[in-house]
Amino acid sequence: MNMTPPLIGSSASIERVRELIEHTADTGLNVLITGESGVGKEVVAQNLYYKSQRKNKPFIKVNCAALPENLLESELFGYEKGAYTGAVSSKPGKFEQADTGTVFLDEIGDVAPGTQVKLLRILQEREFERLGSNKSRHTDVRVLAATNADLRAALENGEFREDRYYRLNVVPIKMQPLRERAVDIPMLAEHFVKKYAK
């Protein structure tokens, strides 16, 4: 069964996104998907995943904006027993769980500088350490990231690391807001009427 969510529209910008997905899906390259909230960045990520050779491997989504820095680190990289109060057993992180698959980092622009450094190591070398451990672990993952933030402005302000930006932004895909592709509105309306009429 085809699980790929539809990327609906006939506008030039949507056609361009489709082309980028087709040309990029199987490359294994990191992709940075940008655009305002609600434009369908996760749909783009899912299309990249389902059209790739990793489609039968894990697809793990992490909302980077939903967790404070200390929790985000343990969520991404895992932790060892005793790493902090309450860590009564060891737990693998999302990168470990996604081995051979894909990690989708949503709202990557909200990641704190300390975690950015550790993410850079994943992006460059596919290596990480669990919290409370000195043992390096390797993971074979593809990284897809999305943000509604202006990362170029964040670069200039020193809020986002330049090296990490270029590691993430190997293939940039920008989703235009619907107000800039009004031709897609009838198709979207028809899609949602059929979907929810059931």
- 89-143 tens-digit pLDDT: 888 899 999 999 999 999 988 888 788 888 888 888 899 988 888 889 999 999 9
pLDDT for residue 2: 57
Q: Which residues on adjacent β-strands are paired with residue 172? A: 32
- Could you give the CA distance from residue 53 to residue 59 in angstroms, rounded to a whole number? 12
What global pTM score does this model have?
0.89
pLDDT at 163: 81
Residue 60, helix vs strand vs coil: strand
Helix (H, G, I), strand (E, B) or coil at 198: coil
102 to each of 47, 141, 186, how far by Cα in Å? 12, 5, 33
pLDDT in tens, the chain (198 residues): 557 788 999 999 999 999 999 999 999 899 999 999 999 999 999 999 999 999 999 999 999 988 888 788 889 998 888 767 777 788 889 999 999 999 999 998 888 878 888 888 888 889 998 888 888 999 999 999 999 988 888 788 877 778 878 888 889 999 999 999 999 999 999 999 998 998
pLDDT at residue 109 in the model: 84
CB 51 within 8 A of CB 25: yes
